[in-house]
């Protein structure tokens, strides 16, 4: 749990203020009611000396006031009542005598009621407002929804601000039409979907798309995260769901948007206790609300998740979330449109070709592209440029992919030479093999956590299906650095290829266990497909197979990697002269492109040499 120093500081100051308030009230009351307790015998002497001006006789106490204050400045006194005929004696002495109530109501009010009232007012006007902003509103608000409510003027987002997801925008146009004119939309008996689930990888713009729907329709927009429903107290989440839908019905037409629905709608388990029961009660209440509300009143439920496979089936059935809209990573055209949207916010050099940059950012999401544009503008600002240029975007791509430059990491001369040959090995193998992305830049400048050098390849097009030969070529390129070291240093390899070996092993393992591309293992899979949008390294999990089959899988993976290493070594033997020249140039300049060293340019397909193992299946 994170520690919030601001809340702690506020609690300390509130405690200090409360203590000071009590002390000041007690001091004021004691000053106002400054009395001295005296013995009854002294009281009789004061009466005899005619020093008493008046007394108040109670059932067991006598309070009085002197005509002349004592030397201590005290003029009021109190003593125990002893003589029951005292009133007659005092009257005979000419002293004013009155009676007192049986209980000190005034004293009780000043001691308890007024301080309590002051503390309550302090809470109402100061602390409670702060606590509600911090989510500490107290037990009376624990079942209230924490949804943030936006209206059209607050969202300020329309479909013009969302690019690269044209299919998703087209699907959601119907929702906008229904919210604008429900009667016209339902003239043929059609009804709007109760719920729409936006699914896709993180950063693709699901939340932005939901806000754009509200901005286009001009209706209230209730935004809340799925995790905000779940609390440690059982029943709180269900109460918040009820309160959210009740607020939405009052504000209809409106949109309810639940982000990260998987935190709330995970598949229910059997025999859960504690927090699991709370989540299941919250989910059950959400299911009941989806069944109970009428979409014709103008309430639309939008939700977003990047893990649809773990959602409860009851949540995804027709009549609840009627429609699923895929918000996937943008293609090249989509990336170009997204770059144009974000480039409007910076000063861009007219010579910058955003379409070319879109071709260099295959696999980037909308959030990645927004970050890329910002990084490019930061780099341009740092070098005091008047506008953001293409070189700034290239540097930003390197920053995002490879990490920040480690100028403090000084390599020795032998290490720099080894790294130069390693990176040039990658580049030359990539330039030689077909179906491999061309090399954009080679560098031996350390970056990131452990990269001593890097080779950046530029995809020429988006790929959705890869052949077995293409995967083998990717493994060969990954092993080009290890092959160059082995060739130059007579088999004395280093630890610098650890990441290359891991990635090559992952690809070979997926070819064998997931894609059925190994003849020795057969046309079947031995592990579940990777989760939809999380890009997790499933290849590192142990395959579900017998011990004999696991050995065949190990042998197959070893053979694939070994054949790729032999192929990479053969390529570099043929191009040894280019390897030496490229490494020397890299040691001199530290970073080179294909224009600086033409041998790493892509070999035209008609001139590609026929290499052994290139077509092995």
**Active centre residues (catalytic):** 423
| Spatial distance between the Cα atoms of 73 and 58, rounded to a whole number of angstroms | 25
Token look-up 């995809």 returns: 459
Q: Which structure tokens are listed for 486?
A: 């082995």
Check: CB of residue 210 under 8 Å from CB of residue 331.
Answer: no
| Spatial distance between the Cα atoms of 541 and 563, rounded to a whole number of angstroms | 24
C-alpha neighbours within 13 Å on the C-beta side of residue 144: 11
Contacts of 250 (CB under 8 A, 6+ apart): none
Other Cβ atoms within 10 Å of 393 Cβ, number: 28
| Spatial distance between the Cα atoms of 262 and 303, rounded to a whole number of angstroms | 10
| CA separation, residue 1 to residues 4, 52, 61, 276 (Å) | 9, 67, 58, 19
Contacts of 593 (CB under 8 A, 6+ apart): 440, 441, 442
C-alpha neighbours within 13 Å on the C-beta side of residue 272: 14
Burial of 611 (0-12, 13-18, 19+ CB in 10 A): middle
Q: Which string of b and e fits 415-453 if b means at least 16 CB within 10 Å?
A: ebbbbbbbbbbbbbbbbbbebbbbbbbbbbbbbeeebbb
Q: Which structure tokens are listed for 268?
A: 């229910």
| Spatial distance between the Cα atoms of 520 and 555, rounded to a whole number of angstroms | 9
Strands 220-225 and 148-150: antiparallel
Sheet of strand 591-593: strand arrangement: 454-457, 439-443, 591-593
| Spatial distance between the Cα atoms of 493 and 484, rounded to a whole number of angstroms | 9
């Amino acid at each position: 749990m994170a520690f919030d120093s601001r809340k702690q500081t506020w609690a300390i100051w509130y405690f200090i203020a409360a203590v000071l308030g009590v002390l000041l009230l007690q001091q004021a009351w004691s000053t106002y009611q400054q009395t001295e307790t005296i013995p009854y015998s002294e009281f009789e002497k004061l009466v005899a000396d005619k020093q008493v001006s008046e007394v108040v006789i109670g059932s067991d106490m006598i309070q009085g006031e002197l005509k002349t204050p004592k030397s201590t400045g005290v003029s009021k006194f109190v003593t125990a009542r002893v003589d029951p005929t005292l009133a007659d004696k005092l009257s005979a002495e000419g002293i004013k005598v009155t009676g007192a109530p049986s209980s000190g109501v005034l004293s009780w009010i000043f001691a308890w009621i007024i301080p309590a009232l002051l503390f309550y007012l302090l809470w109402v006007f100061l602390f409670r407002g702060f606590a509600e902003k911090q989510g500490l509103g107290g037990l009376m608000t624990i079942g209230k929804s924490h949804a943030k409510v936006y209206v059209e003027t607050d969202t300020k987002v329309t479909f013009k601000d969302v690019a690269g997801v044209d299919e998703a925008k087209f699907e959601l146009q119907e929702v906008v039409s229904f919210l604008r004119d429900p009667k016209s939309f339902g003239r043929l008996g059609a009804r709007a979907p109760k719920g729409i689930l936006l699914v896709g990888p993180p950063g693709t713009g699901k939340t932005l798309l939901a806000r754009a729907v509200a901005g286009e329709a001009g209706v209230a927009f209730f935004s809340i995260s799925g995790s905000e429903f779940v609390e440690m107290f059982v029943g709180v989440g269900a109460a918040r769901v009820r309160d959210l839908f009740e607020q939405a019905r009052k504000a209809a037409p409106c949109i309810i948007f639940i982000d990260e629905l998987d935190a709330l709608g995970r598949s229910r388990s059997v025999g859960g206790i504690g927090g699991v029961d709370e989540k299941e009660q919250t989910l059950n209440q959400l299911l009941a609300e989806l069944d109970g509300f009428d979409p014709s009143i103008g309430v639309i439920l939008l939700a977003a998740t990047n893990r649809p496979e773990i959602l409860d089936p009851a949540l995804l059935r027709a009549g609840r979330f009627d429609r699923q809209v895929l918000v996937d990573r943008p293609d090249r055209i989509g990336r170009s449109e997204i770059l144009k949207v974000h480039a409007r916010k910076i000063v861009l050099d007219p010579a910058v070709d955003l379409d070319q940059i879109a071709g260099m950012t295959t696999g980037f999401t909308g959030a990645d592209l927004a970050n890329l544009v910002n990084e490019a503008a930061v780099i341009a600002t740092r070098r005091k440029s008047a506008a953001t240029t293409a070189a700034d975007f290239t540097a930003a791509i390197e920053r995002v992919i490879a990490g920040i430059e480690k100028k403090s990491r000084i390599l020795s001369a032998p290490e720099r030479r080894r790294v130069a040959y390693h990176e040039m090995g990658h580049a030359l193998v990539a330039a030689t093999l077909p179906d491999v992305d061309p090399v954009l830049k080679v560098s031996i400048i350390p970056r990131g956590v452990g990269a001593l050098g890097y080779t950046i390849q530029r995809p020429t097009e988006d790929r959705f299906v890869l052949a077995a030969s293409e995967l083998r070529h990717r493994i060969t390129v990954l092993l080009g650095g290890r092959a160059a070291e082995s060739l130059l240093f007579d088999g004395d390899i280093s630890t610098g290829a650890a990441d290359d070996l891991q990635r090559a092993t992952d690809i070979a393992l997926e070819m064998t266990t997931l894609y059925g591309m190994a003849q020795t293992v057969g046309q079947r899979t031995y592990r579940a497909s990777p989760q939809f949008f999380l890009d997790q390294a499933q290849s590192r999990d142990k395959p579900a197979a017998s011990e004999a089959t696991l050995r065949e899988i190990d042998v197959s993976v070893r053979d694939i990697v070994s054949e790729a290493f032999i192929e990479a070594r053969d390529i570099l033997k043929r191009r040894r002269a280019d390897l030496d020249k490229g490494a020397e140039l890299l040691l001199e300049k530290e970073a080179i492109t294909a224009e600086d060293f033409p041998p790493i340019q892509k070999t035209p397909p008609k001139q590609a040499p026929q290499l052994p193992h290139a077509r092995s299946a």
